[in-house]
Amino acid sequence: MLDQAFDALKKLDYGADLKPLEAIDAAIVASQKDAALQKDLETRLLAVLKSDAPDDAKGYVCRKLMIVGTPASVAALDELLPQEKYSHMARYALERIPAKEAAAALRDSLTKVNGPLKIGVIASLGARRDADSVAALIAQLSDSDEQIVRAAATALGSIATVDAAKALAGVKPTGVAKSAVVDAQLACAEAILAAGNKAEALAIYKSFAGGDQPKHIKLAGTRGMLACAGKKD
């Protein structure tokens, strides 16, 4: 059954019945307790990914590598990151594979991709909350493209370290990056306060509590200051 499923997968294109592929899903469930089966599945999936199978088939492979992929899948997925039609599905797998190699591949690709693809990679690093990527993401805050700045700020807000907060405080965002940079700083303040560092958190909140900030941002700053003081608003 599994052989037939992979034969069907190699030809998978939009409009084809997915029923013949159900054996792959069953094998994925079984592979949780069978390391050899997991390895076999991953090897078969990677063979399809590296073949001239239709794009739909490769997308399906990435969906399954999200579940069973290991460091052994990273190199093949990494090759797809700079390719416009595959980049997202490569991240679909890489973002969720719990291995430092997957994070490293995403991080290293920041020098190989631009525009929307770079935004996607930045978003995936943020979703992984990859602390090893903070420096690389901080570097993106000085990009001339405000969409890149926006993405990097959001990712740094997800990772929410003191270093991220300090870097964000030095940004003078424009256009679409503005709300993301503010939001990221507030997210950092929440994490920093939760970790017990009241002074650092208070400094961030204070910077938003006054001035000509929009009302909801002032409110966030003021509420944060109250939280630092151990008071509820």
Partner 1 sequence: MGRKPLSQLGSTRRDFIKAGSAALATPYFVSSSIFAKDDKPAPSDRLVVAGIGLGNMGSGDQGGFLNRSDVQYVAVCDVRKGPREAAKGKVDKKYGNKDCKDYVDFREILARDDIDVVHIATPDHWHAIQVIEACRHGKDVYCQKPESRTIREGKLMVDTARRYARVVSGGSQRVLEDYKKQVEPAWAGELGPIKSINVNVGPLSTICNLPAEDLPPDIDWEMWLGPAPWAPYNSKRCSGGFNTKGNTWRSYVDYSGGGMTDWGAHHFGGATFAVDVRELQPEQVIFHNDKDGKWVEMKYANGIAVTHNRPKTGNMVIEGTPGEKREAKPVPTYKGGKNIYGDFIECVKTREKPFRDIELAVNTVILSHLATIAYRLERTLKWDSAKQEFTGDAEANRFLDTARREPWQI
Residues in contact with partner 1 by CB under 8 A are: 12, 14-18, 29, 32, 56, 59-60, 63, 66-67, 85, 87-89, 91-92, 94-98, 116-117, 119-120, 122-124, 126-127, 147, 151, 154-155, 176, 179-180, 182-183, 186-187, 190, 214-220, 222-223, 233
Burial (Cβ within 10 Å: 0-12, 13-18, ≥19) of residue 67: middle
Stated as kind and residue range, the H or E segment containing 50 is helix 35-50
Minimum CB separation from partner 1 for residue 180, in Å?
7
Q: Is 17 left (phi over 0), alpha (psi -120 to 50) or beta?
A: beta
Between 15 and 170, whose beta carbon lies closer to partner 1? 15
Between 179 and 207, whose beta carbon lies closer to partner 1? 179
Minimum CB separation from partner 1 for residue 108, in Å?
17
Minimum CB separation from partner 1 for residue 3, in Å?
21
**Which of 63, 65, 60 minimizes the C-alpha distance to 75?**
65
Task: Yes or no: say if 124 and 130 are a contact pair by the CB < 8 Å rule.
Answer: no
Between 138 and 182, whose beta carbon lies closer to partner 1? 182
Minimum CB separation from partner 1 for residue 148, in Å?
10
